[in-house]
Chains A and B, each alone.
Chain A
Amino acid sequence: MEQVLKLRNLKVVFPTDYGLIRAVEGVDLDIFHRECVALVGESGCGKSVTSQAVMRLLESPPALIRVDALEFDGRDLTQCTEQEMQEIRGRDMAMIFQDAMTSLNPVMTVGRQIDEMYRRHNGDSKKEAREKTVKALELIGIPEPRERANSFPHQLSGGMRQRVLLAMAFACMPKLIIADEPTTALDVTIQAQVLKTLRGMQRGCGTSLLLVTHDLSVVASIADRVYVMYAGKIVEKAPVKDLFTSPHHPYTVGLMAAVPRLADEKKQFTQIPGTVPSPVNKPSGCYFHPRCQYATERCRQEMPRLKPTGKDREVRCFHPLSAGGEQQ
């Protein structure tokens, strides 16, 4: 399979007054053609920093970035100038953020903003661009697209704005789209619409997707492969179905148990004890050990490595769980 993105050993550090924040500690990512890869983890684990580093959008300083390899579509991005990067972003690689309001220009109609994408990257005329814009809006399910194109962002609802962002991201048929919490701000019924659209467009356009989210249920509904991140490190990597049917890392197990389900017992929630460690003061050994019921002396001392456990699967744990949630 054709590889779209290859990231090796990404490290990002932020020096602050109260110490070094090791936001990302040696992350590897592979994304193949037409694949939807999810990067999932809790707040502060380094998801956004990783995705910004991939697009080279992370400002340095303050960030100190080190990476062994960052290849996109066979091209070494570490060698690209800022101007080359700007061309790549938008044409070959696009980004969708959580908050559509901040990524859209409030004083320009949404139609013109999408037109711009076509004009800038395809060199289309005004008229050609508008025709394409209307088609794109129609495709993502906006009623009366020709009229809607003349609306300003604030005149649209949150779900519509988010879909406008989708239209912009897909405008130039990029090879890769990075979507950072694309549905987090949306209502459940709108979220269902947007995810369906996103999945449909991704399949239809043959784009690869890196989905950044904290929501496992979103992952379950659209991803093909998943990376689970905790405190700056990947702790588990697996095809989506394998992950959900048999999670190996105790953290993944805990996260899954924390998703409330309709079938669950009443008046009782399964909890993971403790909290995510402070980024300036991570524990020794495995970062998850203070919250892990299986932790042993070794876990307290030594950081486990990511080890293969099956086809396309890796887990960073000395005591991974097997299929039935049993200790191996």
Chain B
Amino acid sequence: MTEIMTLQNVSVHFPVRGALPFLRKGEIQAVSDVSLSIHRGEIFGIVGESGCGKTTLASAMVGMIKPTAGQVLFEGVDLNRLPRDEFKKMRRRMQMIFQDPFSSLNPRFNVYQIVSEPMLIRGEDDEETMKARVVELLELVGLSSQDLYRYPSDFSGGQRQRLGIARAISLNPSFLVCDEPVSALDVSIHAQILNLLLELQEKLNLTYVFISHNLADVKKMCDHLAVMYLGKVMEAGNSDKIFANPMHPYTQALIAAILDIDFSEEREIIVLPGDTPSPINPPSGCRFWQRCPKAMRGCREVPPEYVEVEPDHFVACHLVNGFPDQELPEGYDQPMVPREKVPGR
């Protein structure tokens, strides 16, 4: 399998200004030091809770955000070193589908205008060609040529998401980021859209990045995945391996937090204490230590390394990898019980 997207130590930081300009409050470390690779033709999942940096990371992949540090390689080429017009060309091959099908479509454009806009921007000017292509795209996503002159307000959420998809694939991209494509939709429509994405992937030979906070969806969709917490990848690798043997306490808690509708099975629910801390000046050491049910004293000072613990399965956790060979605080491997007072956010 060949790599289509490689991230090397990518960080994205946003500056935060204090009340006065000279009072630098710090920065939001939306993504810190992420290294990943995505193979051609696969579905790569990014999971994690709100604000953990999923959208920011995906935006860096498709060149919408320039990383503060590190490299983004698309088909081996560093995006951010390309000359402008090369960059533009490259960007067309990567597209994004957004969470909210209600605000991401221009309400004053009709279907034809919405779907053909990217072609127009690229410089296509033959009406007939464009119309034929738009009709073809509509049929591909389960709409029809009768919808050509209708407006977004005439469509249901699911149909609007189909429009968003048609638009995203209009320039034959090879890499598509789906940012929470169903979370704004009705439950009974989720399956339709996810099945459509799977079908298109097969037909058009696409590579997907699938962002979601629903682990069950991710498990069903993805070949590989990365679990993020506060800008860092906690666990990543082959999806089957991770679900068969989740090693990071955060992954374990996320899996346990999936509410189930099966009454036949008793399951343990791990309720994590506290809230996700602020990404402005995040905790030192492991970013998860404050909420981790298995935290040890050393976890709050020593950042864990990101280690391949078995082929195609990476984990950043002291519990799994042991502490590194360096000067360690006293009692570093003692559990943090009684829980020390955790600063609120």
Contact = CB atoms under 8 A, between A and B. Distances in A.
Given A217-B260, A266-B220, A269-B220, A143 B189 contact: no
B206 interface: no
B320 interface: no
Contacts of B344: 143-144, 148
Contacts of A321: none
B324 interface: no
A259 B261 contact: yes
Interface stretch (A52-60, A121-129, A187-195, A293-301): A187-195
Given A143-B342, A262-B219, A272 B191 contact: yes
- In this complex, the member of A187, A264, A270 whose beta carbon has the largest number of chain B beta carbons within 10 angstroms is A187
B263 A193 contact: no
A193 B220 contact: no
A232 to B, nearest CB: 15
A231 B218 CA distance: 30
B257 A192 contact: yes
Interface stretch (B66-74, B192-200, B299-307): B192-200
Interface stretch (A22-30, A109-117, A250-258): A250-258
Contacts of A189: 49, 253-254, 257, 271-272
A261 interface: yes
B258 A188 contact: yes
A260 B214 contact: yes
Nearest to B201: A267
A258 B194 CA distance: 11
Contacts of B192: 269, 271-273
Nearest to A267: B198
A221 interface: yes
B158 interface: yes
A63 interface: no
B154 to A, nearest CB: 10
A258 B271 contact: no
B190 interface: yes
Nearest to A40: B187
Contact of B274 (A143, A192, A196, A266): A143
Nearest to A157: B275
B221 interface: yes
Given A160-B275, A262-B255, A262-B258, A244 B263 contact: yes
A83 interface: no
B188, B215, B217, B260 — most chain A CB neighbours (10 Å)? B188
Contacts of A221: 259
B109 interface: no
Interface in B55-102: none
B345 interface: yes
A141 to B, nearest CB: 8
B49 A220 contact: no
Contacts of B243: 262
A259 B187 contact: yes
B172 interface: no
Nearest to B202: A267
B271 A192 contact: yes
Given A148-B344, A262-B216, A191 B257 contact: yes
A261 B269 contact: no
Interface string A261-287: 110111111111101100000000000
Contacts of A195: 259
B191 A258 contact: yes
A196 B49 CA distance: 19
A188 B263 CA distance: 20
A166 to B, nearest CB: 15
Nearest to B345: A157
B241 interface: no
Contacts of B50: 158, 187
B260 A157 contact: no
A100 B194 CA distance: 30
Interface string A206-241: 000000001111111100000000000000000001
18 contacts: A144-B344, A159-B275, A188-B215, A192-B269, A216-B187, A217-B259, A217-B260, A220-B261, A244-B262, A245-B264, A255-B187, A258-B187, A259-B187, A266-B219, A267-B198, A269-B220, A270-B191, A275-B159
Task: Please name the 8 residue pairs, one residue from A and one from B, whose CB atoms are nearest each other, closest first.
Answer: A271-B191, A217-B259, A269-B191, A260-B216, A187-B49, A272-B188, A220-B261, A188-B257
